[in-house]
Structure 1
């Protein structure tokens, strides 16, 4: 019996009580109630605070309401007992057979166990990474690569249609500085004062020269344009390949420059003008963002007639909405925190709903440690640690898992020595080892001619119950990760599940010893092993991490 099944049973009890006139709920019977695993095992298999939540609305003492629910819930098939604790908590004990059937349900659902349709019909544009193509992808962008891709997988697992989009910043001053740095390097001159350094600048400059041997014969202005076009393309091709190697693929690479060349900026400005949300002052055109919650109004066309940076954001957001996306997600680094207010005001100025049509997620910094000391420099990039540096140090699986394991709004200190270890101290190794252990066990069983067979009533051991309850939690964990935009919850859950599995394995013999005859209990435990392997694989897959058969 899963938390969802218990929730449905409690809803049915409330509906029955309401229909009989015993219970009056002004807002009607809820469609679902919260059912969770209690922290203390002795309190039961599951617990709910539904009586506390509804008592006041029903005009009843919560314990009195809990008593009504208790009497009816005890009659539900699969429920072994219901106790009332404290001011009205209901602690529920489930029969072994009803609990054991969870393993059978997991195996039957397979790769779809934990999936839902909670976001079905939602057309999502998920923009993440979007680093400037002026250097290799640095560690901050790598964090969004791991978290953004995982979030996209979770959204899809919950029924949404997701388009992963990379906003290619190929317009503006940073590209000018990049191209001038390439030109200077090609001429053997030091980088401009505000330019870019690192070995990669020399590599790309030489690659451009190899492709265009005549480039240094051109006037500087023309030469810089060649370095701009060729250099940006080469740099971006490298970033794309690094992302592919990191198992992150994008559906759309959108060029910022296209917004300005296509007239999209002018169209967005005209739309806002028609909505009455712009005005002219001091020779400039302003967007009245303050009326939509921003701390001040923003210039969108400067007094010299040139579009301000915000104008590109206006055009890009409108373009996404016109492409049919209901919800637009943008993932930004910590240095963009002050940018959220104006973006939400921009969303409202178009007549959309901030937080619904537009959501912005902020990610904090990542610090890499080795031997307890922070890493500061990349051999190739010079000033930053790159995606390739991280993958070389600990591998793709560990890098993805480590970056997705923490809430995005917290700074991470990643100990490279820890994440490179092949030991249970390394969280990703600990989880992957549990999957590998399952796979080996099932393979050994097959070699003995022993196949999983459902006998849920036999799974009565305390550690079997703990593992079954953990498996039953997976759909709720996925749904919570989806709704809160927090894929790190899946990683932490997997570690708890792996711990439950290892404790089960240490206390419950799965395969017969020596000449011992196989029993139905062995077969039932193999179903539990197969179910655990399924959930571990599904969870790792949502994080973009492999589930190895052997380690």
Structure 2
């Protein structure tokens, strides 16, 4: 279940509560869901109950309880809790997240593409004589196409105007060619696309050195390294004779005694055990939940970046995704260690690793930056 799908489920929940005369309000056009500040607050949170409380003539907590009871019965929802004055904290089931992972692995380079802007016909054009403007316009037009928009016949000026770019050592303004000669194509694109539109890119000597540093302090390196690390884990798994199989949530382990297949529920880890009733509960480890949520959120980020003409939104999301993958990698072993036997938990984490690598590559590709399998 993606954030957009969860938002639609919440709208349906409100509409059903209105139809059942439990709430006397107009159904809003959309419901906003966001990632909560802490992992113990669930996967997503919404303040829709606070928004509806006044028009409904009820307290936010009363509205939240009406919506909680109905939303908890929706497929893909593992639990809903009321927090604070009336926020709804929503936890998705691991089965719902499994659907997201399968979708990513099926769509691969098309994951993140949608039809949310299908009614829009527009082409963005940059003012001549700018360094960053043409590149931003190029990437924004690609994002618009990814979000379903069609090219327009009358170009739309890129707004706001580009801040002045720093000059090079000789005092002349930077050009794209002079930057690429110093930084290479990928680092140049990141340097120009990562800052928000209202901020000038930092291109002084220390900033240029930081863009080329192969360290964790460099966000571009972290993003590309996370992608390369995901690919390395998949190669290592194949070397060990382990492959992830989406069908029926099984893991296949090749060995001298032939192939062994085990279902997700067969593993001893509590992360793999089903809940007390109904579908399996959410992933046991918060690092898995955080990573899955960012993967599921990627199509919404692409559409938002296109709508707002802001490729920096994609770059920032990739940074968060790379950092979440690093935590997942450190705290949730993807491959068995020592004499440990491969389990369905390893298979599930391999699938998640593959999905993370795919999304990192997709985001970099939308920015026109390479995503190498090895660094």
Q: Is the 8 A contact 1:124 1:161 kept in 2?
A: yes
The offset of 1:78, in angstroms, is 2.9
Where do 1:65-144 residues align within 5 Å?
65-128=63-126, 130-131=128-129, 141-144=130-133
Q: Is the 8 A contact 1:100 1:468 kept in 2?
A: no
Mapped to 2, the partners of 1:542 and 1:53 lie a distance apart of: 36
Structure-2 residue corresponding to 1:543: 367
Matched, 1:330 2:157: yes
Mapped to 1, the partners of 2:358 and 2:29 lie a distance apart of: 29
The offset of 1:544, in angstroms, is 0.9
The offset of 1:402, in angstroms, is 1.5
Structure-2 residue corresponding to 1:196: none
Matched, 1:16 2:16: yes
- 1:511 is matched with which residue: 331, 335, 343? 335
Mapped to 2, the partners of 1:536 and 1:102 lie a distance apart of: 15
Structure-2 residue corresponding to 1:410: 199
CA root-mean-square deviation: 2.0
**TM-superposition CA deviations, 1:463-503 (whole Å, max 9, x none):** 11111111111122112212221110110110010000011
Mapped to 1, the partners of 2:303 and 2:188 lie a distance apart of: 24
Question: Mind listing any 5+ residue stretches in structure 2 that lack a counterpart?
Answer: 250-263, 265-270, 273-282
The offset of 1:514, in angstroms, is 4.3
Structure-2 residue corresponding to 1:478: 302
Mapped to 1, the partners of 2:358 and 2:58 lie a distance apart of: 44
Question: Mind listing any 5+ residue stretches in structure 1 that lack a counterpart?
Answer: 132-140, 164-323, 332-359, 369-374
Q: With structure 2 as the length reference, what TM-score do the two structures score?
A: 0.85
Mapped to 1, the partners of 2:121 and 2:70 lie a distance apart of: 42
Mapped to 2, the partners of 1:472 and 1:122 lie a distance apart of: 24
The offset of 1:376, in angstroms, is 4.1
The offset of 1:22, in angstroms, is 1.8
Rg comparison, structure with higher value: 1
Structure-2 residue corresponding to 1:367: 166
SS of structure 1 residue aligned to 2:28: coil
Mapped to 2, the partners of 1:384 and 1:12 lie a distance apart of: 54
SS of structure 2 residue aligned to 1:412: coil
Q: 1:397 to 1:129 in 2, by over 3 A?
A: farther
Structure-1 residue corresponding to 2:321: 497
- 1:460 is matched with which residue: 284, 293, 301? 284
The offset of 1:31, in angstroms, is 4.3
Mapped to 1, the partners of 2:73 and 2:138 lie a distance apart of: 45
Structure-2 residue corresponding to 1:145: 134
**TM-superposition CA deviations, 1:383-405 (whole Å, max 9, x none):** 32222221111111011011111
Mapped to 1, the partners of 2:216 and 2:131 lie a distance apart of: 25
Mapped to 1, the partners of 2:29 and 2:350 lie a distance apart of: 35
The offset of 1:37, in angstroms, is 0.7
Structure-2 residue corresponding to 1:155: 144
Q: 1:448 to 1:418 in 2, by over 3 A?
A: same
**TM-superposition CA deviations, 1:16-71 (whole Å, max 9, x none):** 11111222224xx2343111110122222110011122222333322221111011
Mapped to 2, the partners of 1:86 and 1:512 lie a distance apart of: 41
Mapped to 2, the partners of 1:99 and 1:480 lie a distance apart of: 22
Q: With structure 1 as the length reference, what TM-score do the two structures score?
A: 0.59
Q: Is the 8 A contact 2:34 2:44 kept in 1?
A: yes
Structure-1 residue corresponding to 2:253: none
- 2:181 is matched with which residue: 375, 392, 417? 392
Q: Is the 8 A contact 1:44 1:93 kept in 2?
A: yes
Name which structure has the greater RCO, CA cutoff 8 Å, separation 6+. Answer: 2
The offset of 1:434, in angstroms, is 0.7
Q: Is the 8 A contact 1:453 1:526 kept in 2?
A: no
How many pairs are equivalent? 340
Mapped to 2, the partners of 1:525 and 1:472 lie a distance apart of: 16
Q: 1:443 to 1:129 in 2, by over 3 A?
A: farther
SS of structure 1 residue aligned to 2:233: helix
Mapped to 2, the partners of 1:44 and 1:513 lie a distance apart of: 30
Where do 1:156-305 residues align within 5 Å?
156-162=145-151
Q: Is the 8 A contact 1:45 1:94 kept in 2?
A: yes
The range that moved more, 519-528 or 72-81, is 72-81
Mapped to 2, the partners of 1:377 and 1:153 lie a distance apart of: 34
Structure-2 residue corresponding to 1:59: 57
SS of structure 2 residue aligned to 1:511: coil
The offset of 1:121, in angstroms, is 4.1
The offset of 1:94, in angstroms, is 2.4
Structure-2 residue corresponding to 1:3: 3
